[in-house]
């Protein structure tokens, strides 16, 4: 019996060593996967051009469109193949534009939704290899990005391992459903697509819908909300950092937006004064996940924010209404809203 104890201890030790080696292997694999992500999403990412299927989920409905896609550095251009007018979406890395060749007009739609902070992303997400997929006749390796703080998968990427080109990507909500998807179906030879503009073509008129596009506010500035100042939350979900404070008009009413980002996902807090004296009397919180349904005595523009298909928490007070929208667990948004003075 005495001779068996060392063997048993050795077996336990070897088992522990095996688990340690597995952990080391997983860690090394995660590091390699993150390096692929850095290359695919970073400023030196490979140029691409070809055709892709672009899918989005809005108010619970999934839609897909085919587009001619060209990527050069931080510029991404999508020409919708099903649009008889030949309209194009242009993301210049800072702002999102809709280009209408019929009137040679560039309509500002907002800030770039594709902004990624690689260092912050690496700090807040783990990269994990998930297998292979053929896209545009190329074998691509799948990588998923999992939140280090909440454990949910935020995105899946498919990267061509030789060139590092990103041929497919999905973003997911906290419920696990796909929110957006872009999959290349065909690539141009040598990715040579003429006609990509690094910005808006010369001679085109630029238009910005009055009040509908967010306007940055100076720090500590009072919002145009009847004298109500911006109220910043004292508690923010893990990993998120402030981006800025903006003013926008929805449904003819002014509201303030406080934006936060974790390197991959965005989170917003909207604030406005109630409509009419005593409107918010009694207070209360309204919470929602996904689209559909109404929300009582609030105008449609405000509800459109809360019903945008992401986790939303709304609180009514006597002097202010608050909506927080983001891809974080509901409890994190509740804590954020409750921390607003």
pLDDT digits (tens, 9 = 90+) for 43-87: 788 888 899 999 988 777 899 999 999 888 778 888 899 988 888
**If you average pLDDT over residues 152-180, what whole number do you get?**
92
What is the pLDDT at residue 4? 41
User: pLDDT per residue over 121-131, tens digit each?
Assistant: 999 999 999 99
User: pLDDT per residue over 9-43, tens digit each?
Assistant: 545 555 555 555 444 445 667 789 999 999 898 87
Q: 174 is written with which tokens?
A: 């906290």
Asked if residue 30 belongs to a domain, the reply is no
Q: What is the number of structural domains in the chain? A: 2
Q: Which domain holds residue 112?
A: 40-207
Asked if residue 274 belongs to a domain, the reply is yes
Asked if residue 34 belongs to a domain, the reply is no
What is the pLDDT at residue 211? 52
Are both 75 and 203 inside the same structural domain?
yes
Are both 180 and 246 inside the same structural domain?
no
Domain boundary among 207, 241, 257: 207
* pLDDT band (50, 70, 90) for residue 319: confident
What is the pLDDT at residue 169? 94
Are both 236 and 96 inside the same structural domain?
no
Name the β-bridge partners of 95.
111
Asked if residue 16 belongs to a domain, the reply is no
Are both 177 and 326 inside the same structural domain?
no
Are both 68 and 198 inside the same structural domain?
yes
* pLDDT band (50, 70, 90) for residue 255: confident
Which one of 49-58, 145-154, 200-209 scores highest in mean pLDDT? 145-154
Asked if residue 11 belongs to a domain, the reply is no
Domain boundary among 207, 225, 247: 207
> How much of the chain, in percent, has pLDDT values that exceed 70?
70
Q: What is the residue-averaged pLDDT of the chain?
A: 78
Lowest mean pLDDT among 17-21, 77-81, 265-269, 310-314: 17-21
Are both 45 and 175 inside the same structural domain?
yes
Are both 254 and 314 inside the same structural domain?
yes
Name the β-bridge partners of 248.
255
What is the pLDDT at residue 219? 52
Asked if residue 297 belongs to a domain, the reply is yes
What is the pLDDT at residue 30? 76
* pTM for the model: 0.78
CATH number for the domain spanning 96: value is 2.50.20.10
Are both 46 and 187 inside the same structural domain?
yes
Contacts of 55-61 with C-beta under 8 Å, sequence gap 24+, read: 55/178, 55/180, 55/181, 55/182, 56/179, 56/180, 56/181, 57/177, 57/178, 57/179, 57/180, 57/309, 58/291, 58/308, 58/309, 59/291, 59/292, 59/307, 59/309, 60/290, 60/291, 60/292, 60/309, 61/291
Asked if residue 334 belongs to a domain, the reply is yes
**If you average pLDDT over residues 207-222, what whole number do you get?**
61
Asked if residue 14 belongs to a domain, the reply is no
Are both 250 and 318 inside the same structural domain?
yes
Domain boundary among 207, 227, 245: 207
Are both 308 and 220 inside the same structural domain?
yes
Are both 332 and 224 inside the same structural domain?
yes
**If you average pLDDT over residues 288-313, what whole number do you get?**
49
> How much of the chain, in percent, has pLDDT values that exceed 90?
34
Are both 98 and 161 inside the same structural domain?
yes
């Amino acid at each position: 019996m005495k001779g068996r104890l060392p063997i048993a201890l050795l077996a336990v030790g070897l088992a522990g060593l095996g688990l340690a080696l597995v952990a080391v292997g997983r860690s090394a694999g995660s590091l390699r996967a993150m390096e692929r992500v850095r290359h695919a999403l970073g400023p030196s990412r490979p140029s691409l051009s070809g055709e892709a299927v672009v899918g989005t989920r809005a108010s619970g409905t999934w839609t897909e469109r085919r587009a001619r896609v060209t990527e050069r550095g931080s510029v991404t251009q999508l020409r919708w193949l099903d649009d008889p007018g030949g309209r194009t979406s242009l993301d210049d890395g800072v702002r999102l534009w809709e280009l209408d060749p019929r009137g040679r007009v560039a309509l500002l739609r907002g800030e770039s939704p594709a902004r990624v902070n690689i260092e912050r992303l690496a700090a807040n997400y783990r990269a994990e290899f998930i297998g292979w997929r053929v896209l545009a006749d190329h074998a691509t390796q799948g990588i998923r990005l999992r939140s280090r703080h909440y454990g949910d998968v935020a995105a899946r990427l498919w990267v061509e391992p030789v060139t590092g080109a990103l041929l497919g990507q999905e973003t997911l909500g906290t419920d696990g459903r796909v929110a957006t998807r872009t999959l290349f179906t065909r690539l141009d030879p040598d990715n040579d697509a003429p006609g990509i503009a690094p910005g808006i073509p010369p001679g085109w008129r630029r238009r910005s819908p009055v009040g509908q596009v967010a306007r940055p506010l100076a720090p500590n500035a009072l919002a145009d909300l009847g004298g109500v100042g911006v109220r910043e939350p004292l508690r923010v979900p893990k990993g998120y950092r402030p981006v800025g404070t903006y003013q926008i008009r929805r449904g003819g009413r002014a509201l303030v937006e406080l934006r936060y980002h974790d390197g991959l996902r965005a989170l917003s807090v909207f604030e406005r004064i109630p409509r009419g004296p005593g409107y918010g009397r009694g207070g209360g919180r309204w919470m929602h996940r996904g689209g559909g349904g109404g929300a009582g005595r609030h105008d449609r523009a405000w509800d459109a924010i809360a019903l945008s298909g992401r986790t939303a928490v709304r609180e009514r007070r006597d002097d202010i209404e608050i909506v927080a929208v983001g891809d974080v667990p509901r409890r994190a948004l509740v804590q954020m809203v409750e921390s607003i003075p």
